Amino acid sequence: MTVIAAATAASTLAACGGGGDDSGGGSGGGDSSANEASDIGITETSIKLGAHFPLTGVAAPGYSEIPTGAQAYFDCLNQAGGVNGREIEYIYRDDAYNPSNTSQVVNQLVLEDEVFAIVGGLGTPTHSAVLDFLNSEGVPDLFVSSGSLLWGDDPETNPYTFGWQTDYMSEGKIIGDYIAENFPDAKVGLFLQDDDFGEDGEAGIREYIDDQIVAAERYTPGNTNVGPQIAALQAAGADFVVGFNVPSYTALSQLTALQLGYDPQWFYSNVGSDPTLVGNLLNNFSQGQVSDASLLDGALTTDYLPTVDEPDNPWVQEFQRIWDECGGEGELTNYRIYGMSQAYTTVQALQAAGQNPTRDGLVEAIETAGSEWEGPVLAPFRYSADSHMGTAGMSISRITGTTTEQVEPVQLTDIGDAEIESYDGEPAEVPENGIPNEESVVD
């Protein structure tokens, strides 16, 4: 730490390791002293990061694309000089969405690969299995890919863990508020996954439209017959259905409703609404009878990131460039944008942690500066010493054909009884090469 303290005084790029003469502005702190192997997973020329994702098995479609997006982003970043002259070495391993596997692969990442930090580990039950391990080993556990409250609302117990995406309760509140204002006469039915995802979402939504809700139906993940639930919503007279469900159940609920001749206004939470994936699933489940996501036409959803159907968005254009230059096979998808955006925030955190980052320094950097970072994420993060919750807001949009149109600008809120307010900040500008340039805040 003393080296870093001495280093922050100066501000030339002269001795920034191998990538000191890069043009990408990747060298955030701009310190003059040499790079050191300051902590586990950090060498003079590299930073090792790890992640766990379902790359095989039932949860793999869609989710397995997230790390490919992040990989493409890191590859382009490395070509432009990396972070303070260090290349990012990104290792992601398969847990098949099974907590027993997650525990094994994270053991491997931490004990064998000796990563500096875990970034973007996906899933609530899967990541729960490694929460205590990572915090007891003191491994930074950044930007968990799940909207559970578990990651951010108790930094005292889990000081190394940070959420990233909008939590499900805040999402529920923003949806509830929107319905109360725009559909005050709607009879609302809820279609919920029977776990904390559905529970948090329901708690949020009930804060605003408890009296409008006529039915709340729950499905168990794995049970592919949702006929009873959809029929119960229809029988209760719901003409507006809000779904807190995963993409496969968006497809199942649409097909079931089609069979029952039930046509309410649908509102799917962000998790379950990716039109491309739902279209593929619909095609799959209906054995070709429904060939695309046209059933979703007119449905409402929420966003906290720009999406592929906004080709004019400068962030999407930049991500498209990165995918074309550094990505693998396939198209840029919303899941890849998710992975790239997460990688962008990770780079911001690494830059803020100074030239020679330490694990504790990284946590301190996010707590100190994280709430001011701008990037592809639509609304600011809530990071502080008291909260490790991720972004706080969402916009609402309507799916029309293969694109979406925004119907409500970004709204901000927080868990509990925090108010909802409109976010008045401007969308962030894209930095050169899509690489952030944060000052070091750790000394």
Partner 1 sequence: MSDLQSPTTDTATAPGKATSSPPTEATAGGDQPTATRRRSLLPSSTLLRHLLLLALGAVATVVILEITDPFTNSQLATLSYYAIAAGGLTVLTGMNGQISLGHGALMAVGAYTTALFLSAEEPPPLPLILLAAIVVATAVGALVGVAAARLHGPYLAGATLALAVGLPGLAIYFHDWLGGEQGMRVRAPRAPEAFDSFISTVSGNSATNTKWLAYVGAICLLITYFLLANLVRSRVGRTWRAVRDQEVAAELAGINLGAWRVLAFTVSAAAAGLAGGVLALVVRLAAPSGFTLVLSLSLLTAIVIGGLGSLLGALLGSALLVFLPPFVTDLGAGWGLDNTEAAQLAPFVYGVVLIVAMIFAPAGFIGTLRMRWLTSRAKRSAARSSGG
Binding site for partner 1 (CB under 8 A): 55-56, 64, 67-68, 71, 91-94, 97-100, 103-105, 107-108, 111-112, 124-126, 128-133, 136, 148, 150, 193-196, 220-221, 328
Nearer to partner 1 (CB atom), residue 64 or residue 253 = 64
Nearer to partner 1 (CB atom), residue 107 or residue 259 = 107
Q: How far is the CB of 228 from partner 1 (least distance, A)?
A: 15
Nearer to partner 1 (CB atom), residue 50 or residue 376 = 50
Q: How far is the CB of 266 from partner 1 (least distance, A)?
A: 23
Tokens standing for residue 133: 């391990």
In the sheet with 300-303, reading across from the earlier edge strand, the strands are 213-219, 188-193, 240-244, 265-268, 300-303, 393-400, 403-412, 421-422
Nearer to partner 1 (CB atom), residue 93 or residue 173 = 93
Q: How far is the CB of 129 from partner 1 (least distance, A)?
A: 4
Nearest CA-CA partner of 430 in 308, 354, 341: 341
Q: How far is the CB of 83 from partner 1 (least distance, A)?
A: 20
DSSP 383-430: -SSS----B-EEEEEEEETTEEEEEEEEEE--STTPPPEE--PPPPPP
Nearer to partner 1 (CB atom), residue 149 or residue 377 = 149
Nearer to partner 1 (CB atom), residue 105 or residue 169 = 105
Q: How far is the CB of 227 from partner 1 (least distance, A)?
A: 18
Asked if 73 contacts 343 with a C-beta cutoff of 8 angstroms, the reply is: yes
Q: How far is the CB of 329 from partner 1 (least distance, A)?
A: 10
**Please, which contacts does 54-57 make with residues 24 or more away whose CB atoms are closer than 8 Å?**
54/94, 54/95, 54/96, 54/97, 54/122, 54/123, 54/126, 55/92, 55/93, 55/94, 55/96, 56/94, 56/96, 57/96, 57/97, 57/98
Q: How far is the CB of 162 from partner 1 (least distance, A)?
A: 18
Q: How far is the CB of 127 from partner 1 (least distance, A)?
A: 10
**Please, which contacts does 278-283 make with residues 24 or more away whose CB atoms are closer than 8 Å?**
278/247, 278/250, 278/251, 278/254, 280/61, 281/61, 281/247, 281/248, 281/250, 281/251, 282/251, 282/254, 282/255
Nearer to partner 1 (CB atom), residue 56 or residue 289 = 56
Nearer to partner 1 (CB atom), residue 124 or residue 356 = 124
Q: How far is the CB of 252 from partner 1 (least distance, A)?
A: 17
Nearer to partner 1 (CB atom), residue 328 or residue 409 = 328
* Rama region for 324: left / alpha / beta (φ>0; ψ in -120 to 50; rest): alpha
Which segments within 186-329 are labelled E, that is strand? 188-193, 213-219, 240-244, 265-268, 300-303
Gap between the Cα atoms of 20 and 197, Å rounded = 45
Nearest CA-CA partner of 88 in 131, 125, 130, 142: 142
